[in-house]
Amino acid sequence: MAINEIKFLRPFGPSIAKVHLPNEIINSLNEYVDKTILDQEKSKKLDYGKYLAGNVKQEIVMEESLLESSGLLSFLGKSVQEWIRGSDKKIIKEFKVISTWVVRQFENEYNPIHNHNGHISGVGYLKLPKSFGKPFQTSKEKNVNGNISFIHGARMFNSSSIINVEPKVGDFYIFPNYLMHSVNPFYGEGERRSVSFNAKIDDSIYNVYE
């Protein structure tokens, strides 16, 4: 699977890669989630919520067999490889996914500021509501309802500390595990569905103090 386009975002210190999740993977993952939530026993078994930071409706750990059959594993491996090569001019030889999970978020739910395990993390969007609702203060220039916020360092001259990103179906963001981030609540009907992962790469590349 080729990565058609990769963008490098550098709003502050660490870079963030933005790639596009192919429609066939989106459809495969959505079909899996839709079937899982209809099976109460399986849905309960795969509930990952107690291990994660979010205050959301449901968080489902993905089975390893789906990771490969859906094409997501290949997509993640090649995307991370391109990101590291473009950002750090290095070639990774190791890519091991530690965990993948799907977050189902509904009205008033949110994900507080947190970071992840492993070396590399990411999030992509599978399904979104028609609207995230209007801000209470209608004079606000930008509506950040339902946005993901990436946070790093402190606000200084010529350096922001927060970037707010509006999710779009198919958009996938890859970033270092330590990069703090949060998800804002939204207001209205519908589901905000995303898939996340944690992975490890070569220690010799990740550990810059070695």
Q: Which residues contact 118 (CB under 8 A, 6 or more apart)?
A: 98, 177, 198, 199, 200
Question: What does the alpha-carbon distance between residue 147 and residue 149 come to, in Å, rounded to a whole number?
Answer: 6
Q: Which residues contact 78 (CB under 8 A, 6 or more apart)?
A: 1, 2, 3
For the chain, what is the largest distance between any 2 Cα atoms, rounded to a whole number of angstroms? 53
Residues of the chain with pLDDT under 50: none
Domains assigned to the chain: 6-205 (2.60.120.620)
Quick: pLDDT tens for 40-88.
888 888 888 777 777 887 899 999 899 999 999 999 999 999 999 999 9
pLDDT of residue 2: 56
pLDDT of residue 154: 85
pLDDT of residue 50: 77
pLDDT of residue 98: 96
pLDDT of residue 4: 66
pLDDT of residue 51: 74
Question: What does the alpha-carbon distance between residue 71 and residue 64 come to, in Å, rounded to a whole number?
Answer: 11
